[in-house]
């Protein structure tokens, strides 16, 4: 397996994503392991200033690693652009920090008990009705 690298991928669907990529061989097929892919949109203000809007590629999943078949890729361009790589790494670290802070379960979130205690409570409620 080769070393991972940062790259922009143009998919057959027309999507353009940026991610850390690791090529791998499986059953004589080349696949890409894509870690935390993002979409980068360039935004220009009225004054002519340029900014970047970064979004996750898939917004309804918490997974961060995807497998893409090389047949689904039109082109791939390795990136050494420090600015884009830095934006990517900052976005990923902030996203992971945000997800970790929401992971703790508390009674305020509705947590009542473990399964055994919940079964006992539900049985008691059923028997008393």
Non-local (6+) Cβ contacts of 95 within 8 A are 36, 56
Mean pLDDT, rounded, for 98-114: 60
Class of domain 5-104: mainly beta
pLDDT for 100 equals: 56
Beta bridge partners of 11: 73
User: pLDDT tens digits, residue range 54-99?
Assistant: 999 998 888 889 999 999 999 999 999 898 899 899 998 888 766 5
pLDDT for 118 equals: 78
Domain range list for the chain? 5-104
């Amino acid at each position: 397996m080769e070393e991972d690298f940062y790259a922009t991928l143009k998919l057959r669907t027309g999507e353009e994503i940026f991610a850390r990529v690791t090529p791998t061989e499986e059953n004589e097929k080349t696949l890409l392991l894509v870690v935390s892919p993002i979409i980068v949109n360039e935004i220009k203000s009225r004054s002519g200033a340029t900014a970047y809007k970064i979004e996750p590629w898939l917004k309804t999943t918490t997974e961060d690693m995807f497998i893409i078949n090389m047949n689904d890729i039109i082109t791939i361009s390795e990136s050494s652009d420090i600015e884009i790589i830095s934006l990517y790494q900052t976005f990923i670290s902030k996203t992971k920090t945000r997800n970790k802070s929401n992971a703790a379960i508390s009674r305020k979130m509705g947590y009542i008990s473990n399964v055994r205690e919940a079964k006992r409570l539900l049985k008691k409620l059923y028997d008393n009705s």
